[in-house]
Amino acid sequence: MKNIKIYLYSYFKKYNSWLLFGGFLALIQSLFLIPMPLVTRRILDTTIVNKNLAELLVLSIIIVFVLFLNKAVVYYKGLIFDRINNKVIFDLRIDLLKKLNKVKINKFKLFGIGYLISRINDDTERLSSLFADAF
């Protein structure tokens, strides 16, 4: 199991800066969750009781702005991690096909070309879903 992690790490290390940026966006996404309960509490406990419409408008704009920024961060974070996922899977498939080109014809007869190509496509697709869930 440790060898697999080391093997896959070699594919991900090319994208370390993008992974760090995606992690930073995940941190920002978490930070956007902090003010929402505080603003909601302020609206319910103070603003509505005092019937202050100006404050309600300002706090509502703040909530909409924070929600908009949060959705933008979630979108770009997903875009970055999806792109990394696709590039890693593409690199894996290319390397597997290169190794398959070096295999002797006797091995092709043993398994069949369709079986080997199917394994390359299906197994890397399973890894793709694993990476997406992990991200």
- Read off the pTM: 0.73
Tell me the pLDDT tens digit for each residue of 106-133.
777 777 777 777 877 777 777 776 665 5
Mean confidence (pLDDT) of the chain: 84
In 51-112, where does DSSP find H-type helix? Answer: 53-101, 105-111
Q: How far apart are CA 26 and CA 73, in angstroms?
A: 8
Q: How far apart are CA 58 and CA 53, in angstroms?
A: 9
Q: How far apart are CA 97 and CA 126, in angstroms?
A: 17
Task: Kindly tell me if the per-residue pLDDT of 64 is higher than 90.
Answer: yes
